Amino acid sequence: MALVKYPDGSYREIGEKNQTKKARNLTKSRLGIDFETAINESNEYYLEKGIAAIYKKPTPVQIVKVDYPARNKARITEAYYKTPSTTDYNGIYRKSYIDFEAKSCKESNFSFERIYEHQIKHLENIYELGGISFIIVEFSTLHEIYILPTPLLTIKHDEALNGGRKSIPYEYFKENGYLVETGFKPRINYLKTVDKIYFEEKKYLKKNDED
Amino acid sequence: MALVKYPDGSYREIGEKNQTKKARNLTKSRLGIDFETAINESNEYYLEKGIAAIYKKPTPVQIVKVDYPARNKARITEAYYKTPSTTDYNGIYRKSYIDFEAKSCKESNFSFERIYEHQIKHLENIYELGGISFIIVEFSTLHEIYILPTPLLTIKHDEALNGGRKSIPYEYFKENGYLVETGFKPRINYLKTVDKIYFEEKKYLKKNDED
């Protein structure tokens, strides 16, 4: 979401094509749009190559009022943001279900204020059901991206719930997470990291009787 | 989506809790909300029981203008419906990726006008990547629900593209699709049908070198 403050005091969220370059840069730097855009582009690349089908879910909105200024042209005139039930991204890769939340951090830690409790619960549900689930975090000032598998997120989250630190420091990602390679195409080659964690090392996947 | 026409000529889409009973019934019958609600409730049941995590994706909306009448209270004042990129539902079941589109039909056929070309393409992509994908169709006047696996949808769609019938008749669902049981909990036990098709008969799953 790219929000721009207008002279009349209102905020507008607009498609990149309609934005001025200045507004685009402002909102990009502020909201980590660059990171999201790079993940979306990587997903387009994976889809084109027949490697994976992973999509960002639409922003959930509670629509209250719709006008029809012209035939077949519905205009929503009153709506509100809703809390997302799940995570940003999900899809299929190597026949597996994959699900993750993507966040960009300016700070040298990932605060639990950045993610909803029920999103953590959702990632844990996916892990329990045998899926691939994680958070992918960009430390924007360091230009480093890490995948942190759900079982490690759970450990740090449980610590926070029991009076521990309310954030995960960068050092924890560096020591326990998995660095993601960046490049030209795909810009964020996170599925290579997924290969390493879940298919080569076969770690952080739920073991059960069927295995 | 439940749209209600108001005396001022506008349409409002409101949460069921805020709707009058009359409005609720009107919109339910018109838009097949009952079917969608029943699938959502079944998904909640599957989630609670730890059987599967399958969610409906939010309706995609292009947000243009947001006002802040009060602190921390964003109000969207201009937005438009966007064409969905994918299907209504996806998630994980028996460690597999599952993806489907749900439609309710009053007629005794399923018209290809009811589904976007790129949604069919999406279902085909999921099939190619080894996932479980299908359409689930309610024939509301007959009170019958069928799952039609993607490869069968592709056959009928190809026929339509090559000058054939632009819809799939009820009889085709009855002969080639799979009837879904309904009951109290879950109201639509479609995962039992998925068990039969994809795990017992092991049909309509992409075969590849890994198998």
Q: What is the DSSP string of B25-47?
A: HHHHHHHTHHHHHHHHHHHHHHH
Give residue for tokens 């295995």.
Answer: A211
Contact A125 B3 (CB under 8 A): no
Q: Note the pTM of the prediction, 2 decimals.
A: 0.84
**Does A17 or A121 have the greater pLDDT score?**
A121
Contact A64 B3 (CB under 8 A): no
Pair A114, A153: CB distance under 8 Å: no
pLDDT digits (tens, 9 = 90+) for B113-164: 999 999 999 999 999 999 999 999 999 999 999 999 999 999 999 999 999 9
Q: What is the largest CA-CA distance in chain A?
A: 62
Residues of A in contact with B60 (CB under 8 A): 58
Res A128 pLDDT > 70: yes
Nearest CA in chain A to B92: A97
Give residue for tokens 């997470």.
Answer: A177
Report how far residue B207's alpha carbon sits from residue B192's, in angstroms, rounded to the nearest whole number.
22
**What confidence score (pLDDT) does residue A73 get?**
81
Mean pLDDT of all residues in B81-106: 96
Tell me the sheet residues that pair with A136.
A102, A147
| Nearest beta carbon to residue B58 from set A58, A65, A80 | A58
| Nearest beta carbon to residue A50 from set B10, B86, B128 | B128
Mean pLDDT of all residues in B165-179: 98
**Does A97 or B5 have the greater pLDDT score?**
A97
**What confidence score (pLDDT) does residue A68 get?**
86
Nearest CA in chain A to B11: A66
Res A16 pLDDT > 50: no
pLDDT digits (tens, 9 = 90+) for A51-80: 999 999 999 999 999 998 776 789 999 999
B107 DSSP assignment: S
pLDDT digits (tens, 9 = 90+) for B179-207: 999 998 999 999 999 999 999 999 999 98
Residues of A in contact with B80 (CB under 8 A): 74-76
| Nearest beta carbon to residue B58 from set A61, A66, A91 | A61
Question: How many interface pairs between A and B have CB atoms less than 8 angstroms apart?
Answer: 150
Q: Where are the alpha helices (DSSP H) in chain B?
A: 21-31, 33-48, 117-128, 150-161, 170-176, 190-194
pLDDT digits (tens, 9 = 90+) for B43-75: 999 999 999 999 999 999 999 999 987 767 899
Task: Pick the residue of B129, B205, B208 with the most A CBs within 10 A to test the interface with A by mutation.
Answer: B129
Contact A90 B91 (CB under 8 A): yes
Res B30 pLDDT > 80: no
Give the pLDDT band of residue A11 (cuts 50, 70, 90). Answer: low
Mean pLDDT of all residues in A127-132: 98
Report how far residue A76's alpha carbon sits from residue A64's, in angstroms, rounded to the nearest whole number.
8
**What confidence score (pLDDT) does residue B69 get?**
78
ipTM for this model: 0.84
Give the pLDDT band of residue A3 (cuts 50, 70, 90). Answer: low
Contact B122 A79 (CB under 8 A): no
Mean pLDDT of all residues in B33-51: 95
Residues of A in contact with B85 (CB under 8 A): 55
**What confidence score (pLDDT) does residue B13 get?**
52
**Does A121 or A3 have the greater pLDDT score?**
A121
Contact A86 B14 (CB under 8 A): no
**What confidence score (pLDDT) does residue B26 get?**
46
**What confidence score (pLDDT) does residue B29 get?**
44
Beta strands at A89-93 and A11-13: parallel, antiparallel or unpaired: unpaired
Q: Per 3-state DSSP, what percentage of chain A is helix, strand, and coil (rounded to 5)?
A: 35, 35, 30
Report how far residue B104's alpha carbon sits from residue A32's, in angstroms, rounded to the nearest whole number.
40
